[in-house]
């Protein structure tokens, strides 16, 4: 249980185009989903917190008009990188929270999406 | 990840025990986590510990928590080549957000 998928797993696009990444919780309903960005050999940087039916909460320094997040249902959140540029090239990882026995909400991570902008 | 610190590299011989250390700063963290990341993949939850516990064991994994010193460790017994990966320590902060360490790259040599 607690499987999170992302699609696509990798994408190469031209500068100026927009790219949509999907994050799905396959066998549970996620109260909250998170979007992270990871640079090579570095830790995960939280970009935004996404709750179903409401606007995402962005971390300081993350442009909300650049990284559009839509949380359409309890099992699907999408991240759209608009007008992508080479500096947006990165590994994007989503996570979905699930309540465990004992009451804690634990994050389960997707496999990540490698974005390369030429 | 500046609030959570980990050593960056660990090399261990196959069959030996690995110990990965982590220090954190937020004393109000209720849960602390260990995640494993293999090359090109997302993070896999290995184990977690509630802040009022000192130790948790799960098969080959043992987590020790020293809340006074804000020190967390992960011990992997009988380390195998499949254990080679990056291991992230994380503490829960507001609204169930996680703050991650920089990750410890564990290399298992034959």
Residues of B in contact with A95 (CB under 8 A): 43
Cα separation, B93 vs B8, whole angstroms: 23
Indicate the pLDDT class of residue B77, thresholds 50, 70 and 90.
very high
Confidence of residue B20 (pLDDT cuts 50, 70, 90): very high
Please give the Cα distance from A61 to B80 (Å, whole number). Answer: 40
pLDDT digits (tens, 9 = 90+) for B30-54: 889 999 999 888 899 999 998 889 9
pLDDT at B95: 60
Measured between CA atoms, the residue of chain A closest to residue B4 is A43
Rg (CA), chain A: 14
Average pLDDT, chain A: 91
Cα(A35)–Cα(B98) distance, rounded to whole angstroms?
Answer: 12
Listed in sequence order, the residues at least 6 apart from B108 whose beta carbon sits closer than 8 Å to its beta carbon are B12, B13, B14, B18, B79, B80, B81, B83, B84
Nearest C-alpha neighbor of A23 from the set A98, A106, A108: A108
Please name the residue that has the structure tokens 């549970």. A28
Name the residue in chain A with its Cα closest to that of B88. A43
Measured between CB atoms, does A79 come within 8 Å of chain B?
no
d(CA A97, CA A104): 9
For residue B43, count CB atoms less than 10 angstroms from its CB and return exposed for 0-12, middle for 13-18, buried for 19 or more: buried
Residue B82 DSSP SS3: helix
Whether the bond into A72 is cis, omega within 30 of 0: no
| Mutation to test the A interface, candidates B3, B29, B42, most A Cβ within 10 Å | B42
């Amino acid at each position: 249980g607690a499987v999170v998928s992302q699609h696509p797993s990798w994408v190469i696009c031209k500068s100026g185009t927009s790219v949509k990444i999907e994050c799905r919780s396959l066998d549970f309903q996620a109260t909250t989903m998170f979007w992270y960005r990871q640079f090579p050999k570095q830790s995960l940087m939280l970009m935004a917190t996404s709750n179903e039916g409401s606007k995402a909460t962005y971390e300081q320094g993350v442009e909300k008009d650049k990284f559009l997040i839509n949380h359409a249902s309890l099992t699907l959140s999408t991240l759209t990188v608009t007008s992508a540029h080479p500096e947006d090239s990165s590994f994007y990882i989503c996570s979905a929270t699930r309540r465990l026995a004992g009451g804690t909400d634990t994050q389960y991570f997707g496999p990540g999406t490698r974005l390369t902008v030429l | 990840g500046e609030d959570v610190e980990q050593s960056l590299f660990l090399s261990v011989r196959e069959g030996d025990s690995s110990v990965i250390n982590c220090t954190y700063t937020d004393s109000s963290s209720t849960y602390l986590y260990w995640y494993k990341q293999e090359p090109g993949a997302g993070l896999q939850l290995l184990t977690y510990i509630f802040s009022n516990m000192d130790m948790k064991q799960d098969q080959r994994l043992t987590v020790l928590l020293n809340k006074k010193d804000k020190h967390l460790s992960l011990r992997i017994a009988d380390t195998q080549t499949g254990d080679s990966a990056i291991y992230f320590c994380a503490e829960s902060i507001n609204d169930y957000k996680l703050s991650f360490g920089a990750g410890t790259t564990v290399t298992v040599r034959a």
